[in-house]
Structure 1
Amino acid sequence: MPKAQITRFLPALLVATTMTFTASACTPTVTAEDWILEPVPFGDNGVAFGMSVVAADGDGGFWSGSGGSWLHVGADGAILHRFNIDFGHPLHAIGSVAALSPTELVANRTISAPDAVPGLSIVDMETLEYTDVPVKRLSETGAGDGNLEVGDFRFGELAVHEGDAYAVRYQPVPQEYLDFEILRIDLDSGERELLHREALAIEESASTFPGMPPVDIDVDAEGEIYVATPSYRIVLAADGTELSRAPQSASLPIVSVSPDGRALWWGGAEDAAKATSVIVGGSGEQQEIIAGRNTCDGLIRNDALRLMVDDTVEPLPFLCGANAADWTGDSWVVAIGGEADGVLVRLTPPADSE
């Protein structure tokens, strides 16, 4: 199994990133109805480039990365790992990830190199050794329509539930644009189960064409599957049966669900919101960046945030245009920002919502 050449950050930077930042001596008042937005310190003054992935590590912490730069934050906020992967290494530009354990991630390596074969790998994030997940076609298992099985064209976002991977797979369709599928994949045998398939139109991907229209996925503790597309918010039963569907218009659709089924969705225009929030801790620069996303006006991506509990949807007036999010411990971690204004935010729901 290949080993990466890892460029470590300077020890002084590691020490600096474990410090707790405080914006002022004043501690804001938090009520039981408030959402709490707490910046996670990393980079200079808590601000760096925008992270493109967030993956809970299953132990209260999370991994976050962008390109070849990776960060692992523990449940207590300490920086456990921080490193760069050298350009040209097969893991330099892995796509989406989902955690199997605190140090093992399932990774989509579709974009790792121009000539890469689409596939999934299990990556040890401490050694950066990786093992490719075996490939077992749907046509081999008798699942799905063998006439549409043309190999793995492209994999997208991932989730993990009870040791299986749930993967978005894109497939070309003759005379049309693309279908996307939701596959459940046994990570030991590679055996696949087709849970859902539907068409994607070119119009749904105006900003990404000729790339893949973004489709996000997450799974709750009961095995229900949440799917965010540019045009819909979809919830599927564990067997793939569609439970609900609501229209939206999203440039980068995101969904992240807590174990008890509270789902955050990014997509659609801002609506009037009653929810209140408080920014706690962090540097002044972090707080300013977070506060600047209380509206979607002027952002490159104007995807507003909504909370869905059962069939009730509530607009939330913060964290517009996020890059990625995942539930970890008792809160969500949300990545926002870009090249010079990237911030990781720990988003804790109101105490009275539990």
Structure 2
Amino acid sequence: MPRARITRLLPALLVATSVTLAASACTPQATADDWMLEPVPFESGHMGEVDLAFGMSTITADGAGGFWSGSAGSWLHVGADGETLARFNIDVEHPMHAMGSIAALSPTELVATRTVTAPDAVPGLSIIDMETLEYTDVPTKPVPETGAGEADAAAGDFMLGDLAVHDGDAYVVRYQPVPQEYLDFEILRVDLGSGERELLHREALTISTSPQVFPGVPPVDIDLDAGGTIYLATPSYRIILAPDGTELSRAAQSANRPIVSADPDGRVLWWGGAEGAAHATSVIIGGSGEARDAIVGRASCEGLIRDDALRMTVGDAGAESTVESLPFLCGANAAAWTGDSWIVATGGEGDGVLVRLTPPAALD
């Protein structure tokens, strides 16, 4: 397999608002029924420790209680105890800058989709050692059901979207054009050693499902729980698949930027659609005043560019009685379960916050 060395750069100086991280003395105490929202601080060069910056666009749990987060060429690794384990930027010219979605194989090894940024580039998967910044391309094999030959396998990947990792395999969203129509999206299970692929699910997407992203593709988000159940968030549906791809349930939604993130037991957060009647309560724990204000500003979706509301399901997403609306963290960028809480990326330039979202003790 081809390998390439990417030179590690000096830690970049994050452009951020200077903040004071001392928690307010009047911070309320959470009860067993409260969701806890806590800004995540991290080290950022000469700015020291900050909890308000630009918005991160992707998050993956590292498998050891921490997480990796990225935005373009900016990378951050926070450990289980909240310590900053890595913080660096990568030049636009470096191959890692063209990586798209990420998922962790281990605390120091990520799987990433390659985006097409050069005329001779093809989409695919790469495994990145985040300590050495070396990467290995996963072999591209045809999907058996498509009938594509080995030589046409790479050309057959029109675009790869979100991905997740479960039991060492990657689960990848693949977009394929459909003549006289628009696009299908597929869910592929990919063996990261051999590159062998299995088609688990395929369905159509239309321009009308997500017109604001045209000529880009309508976003589809994917996650899995510990048992291998697959959760898909599309502009039009919340979908649950069995590990073999059999559809278990489907519920309609209308989402501009759908997101899904599951905990190991099938408790699932979904971003999509308008706000609903909510009875959940929450408490913001610690953080700077600016970060807390940014979190409060997302208690409602009104006026946000990304205005998809947050919901939680337990078990069958097709049964509307299992859906609970949550009145916070509207319009998130990304989310991942880290072991006892979710990490949610919110905001953009100047109001980006990484929020640790801990479910109520009463739900456990």
CA contact 2:12–2:87 (8 Å) conserved in 1 = no
Task: Please name the residue that 1:68 is paired with.
Answer: 73
1:181-196 matches, within 5 Å, as: 181-196=186-201
Matched residue, 1:128: 133
| 1:99 matches 2:109 | no
Q: Give the match for residue 302 of structure 1.
A: 307
Output the CA distance in 2 between the equivalents of 1:345 and 1:41.
9
Counterpart among 282, 301, 320 of residue 330 in structure 2? 320
Q: Number of aligned pairs?
A: 346
SS in 2 for 1:144: helix
Q: Using the TM superposition, give the Cα deviation of residue 297 of structure 1 relative to its aligned residue in structure 2, in angstroms.
A: 0.3
- Shift, 1:126, TM fit: 1.1
The offset of 1:340, in angstroms, is: 1.3
| Residue 266 of structure 2 corresponds to residue 261 of structure 1 | yes
2:11 to 2, 9, 14: 9
Distance 1:214 1:291, change over 3 A: same
- Residue by residue over 1:224-252, the C-alpha shift from the partner in whole angstroms, topping out at 9 and shown as x without a partner, is 10000000000000000000000101110
The correspondence of residues 20-169 of structure 1 with structure 2, limited to 5 A, is: 21-42=21-42, 45-113=50-118, 115-138=120-143, 143-146=144-147, 151-169=156-174
- Which residue of structure 2 lines up, in the alignment, with residue 332 of structure 1? 342
Gaps of 5+ in 1: none
What is residue 319 of structure 2 aligned with on the other side? Answer: none
Counterparts in 2 of 1:153-302, with a 5 A limit?
A: 153-302=158-307
After the TM superposition, which of the residue ranges 162-171 and 45-54 deviates more from structure 2? 45-54
**Contact 1:61–1:75, Cα closer than 8 Å, also in 2:** yes
How far 1:146 moved relative to its partner?
2.2
Where 1:244 maps in the other structure, the secondary structure is strand
CA RMSD of the aligned region, Å? 2.0
Q: Which amino acid aligns with 1:24?
A: S
Output the CA distance in 1 between the equivalents of 2:119 and 2:6: 19
Secondary structure at 1:287 match in 2: helix
Contact conserved, 2:101 with 2:113, CA < 8 A, in 1? yes
Give the 3 Å change call, closer, same or farther, for CA 52–115 of structure 1 in structure 2.
Answer: farther
Structure 2 runs not aligned, ≥5 long: 317-321
CA distance in 2, matches of 1:334, 1:113: 32
Q: Which letter maps to 2:298?
A: R
Structure 1 residues 56 and 325, CA gap change in structure 2 (3 angstroms): same
Structure 1 residues 306-327: Cα deviation after superposition (integer angstroms, max 9, x where no partner): 0000131100000000000000
Match of 1:346?
A: 356
2:106 is aligned with what amino acid?
S
Counterpart Cα distance in 1 of 2:193 and 2:8 = 27
Query: Could you list the per-position Cα deviations for residues 237-291 of structure 1 after superposition, in whole angstroms to 9, with x for gaps in the alignment?
Result: 0000000000101110000000000000000000010000000011010000001
Per-residue deviation, 1:147: 7.2
Give me the TM-score of the superposition, normalised by structure 2: 0.91
Distance (Å, rounded) in 2 between the aligned partners of 1:278 and 1:189:
47
Q: Following the alignment from structure 2 to structure 1, what is the Cα–Cα distance between the partners of residues 268 and 243?
A: 16
**1:63-85 Cα deviation digits (max 9, x unpaired):** 00000000000000000000001
TM-score w.r.t. structure 1 length? 0.94
- Output the CA distance in 2 between the equivalents of 1:76 and 1:261: 25
One-letter amino acid matched to 1:32: A
- Cα deviations across residues 75-129 of structure 1 (Å, max 9, x unaligned)? 0000000000111111113110000000000000124546421000000111110
Q: Is the 8 A contact 1:95 1:111 kept in 2?
A: no
